[in-house]
Structure 1
Amino acid sequence: MNIPTLQNEFVKLEPLTLENYKNLYAISSERNLLQYSPSDISTFQALTNYVQQALIQSENGVSIPFIIYDKTTQRYAGSTRYMNIDWKNKVLHIGSTWIGKEFQGTGLNTAMKKLMINYAFKKMGFEKVEFRIDQRNIISRKAVEKLGAQLEGILRKNVFLSDGFKRNTCCYGILKSEWP
């Protein structure tokens, strides 16, 4: 799959590769970075496995992984992807997003999500963008609500996290017709 580079004045999303992911190791080892995620990126080997899985999903056409470059600080900030891509029904998720603590609250995440939503609707021809967020992750929930995503329901105790906790997952969605 040909993965595009997406960018605006704040952020550049480049294809995540087995060459560039090493730029993320310092960030991925930050404590509690993925406290609400089932993924493990806490060691170099875990990060490598994470990237390899993302690339396999990409080859299978169900994921498009990106490395996040913050243009303001001129540094790599994290990773995100289109995932659970349903080409037939024109629905995809934006998820597996993690950015380093120093980049949180800077507007980077909002700029990145707007870029991805615009691309999904205008260039890829999708009809709906969804987000799956741990019910306890209030900051991420408020962030997608600010983008206009609607809470569509809560999946109860549906995902095991790496610490063994089984989370409730909030399902949010934005329809193409709702996006400005």
Structure 2
Amino acid sequence: MNTPTLENERVKLTLLDLSNYQHLLPVAQENDLIQFSPSKIDTPEDLKSYVQIAVDGYYHNTTIPFIIYDKNSESYVGSTRFGLINRKNKVLHIGWTWISKPLQGSGLNTSIKFLMLQYAFETLKFDKVEFRIDERNIRSRKAVEKIGGTLEGILRKDTLMQDGFKRSTCCYGILKEEWPQIKATIFKNF
């Protein structure tokens, strides 16, 4: 599989794997970093397991995991991925995104999402990009709405969390025919 490096003036996304995940250990240990995720990453063992699952998906052509390098701070600051890649139906998900808390709200995530959407629609020629977000995660839901995601429905109590809570998941989507308008208006500065 050809692994892209996605890059602009602000951020560089390269393949996350077992050779570089250690750069993320300090970020992964930030308090409540992924409180709305069913995953656990706050110990070295948990982070390695999380990355191993992403790498396994990569070798099965269902995920492309990225390590996020922020050019402003000159450091690795998180992870994101394409997942649930369905080449037949030309649909994939963008998610599993976590960024160091001091950089949340800084515009970094918008730069990341622009690169990923551009790659999904313009290079891969996919028809749809989906996002799945915990119903309680208002900040992430607003971020996806801000970049043009449309709420398509809510899967009620579909995901078991680490603490035993069954979360409901909001499903958002962007269609390829919506991308040119989104790119021209929301991402006009990229």
Please give the range of the TM-score, normalised by the shorter of the 2 chains. over 0.9
Deviations 1:55-81 (A, max 9, x none): 000000000000000011111110000
After superposition, give the CA deviation of every residue in 1:82-129 in whole Å (9 maximum; x if it has no partner).
000000000000011101101101000011001100000000110100
Gaps of 5+ in 2: 181-190
User: Structure 2 length normalisation: TM-score?
Assistant: 0.93
Counterpart residue number, 2:184? none
Distance 1:137 1:40 in 2: 17
Matched ranges for 1:42-53 at <5 A: 42-53=42-53
- What SS does structure 1 have at the residue aligned with 2:177? helix
Instruction: Spell out, residue by residue over 1:113-168, the C-alpha distance to the aligned partner (whole angstroms, 9 max, x if none).
Output: 01100000000110100000000101100001011010000000000111111100
SS, match of residue 57 in structure 1: helix
Taking the TM superposition and a 5 Å limit, the aligned residue runs for 1:15-164 are 15-164=15-164
CA RMSD in angstroms comes to 0.6
Q: Distance in 2 between matches of 1:164 and 1:40?
A: 13
Q: Mark the runs of 5 or more structure 1 residues left unpaired by the alignment.
A: none
Shift of 1:2: 2.3
Corresponding residue SS for 1:72: coil
Shift of 1:46: 0.3
Q: Which runs of 4+ in 1 moved over 6 A?
A: none
Q: How far, CA to CA, are the matches of 1:42 and 1:119 in structure 2?
A: 30
TM-score, normalized by length of structure 1? 0.99
SS where residue 64 of structure 2 aligns?
strand
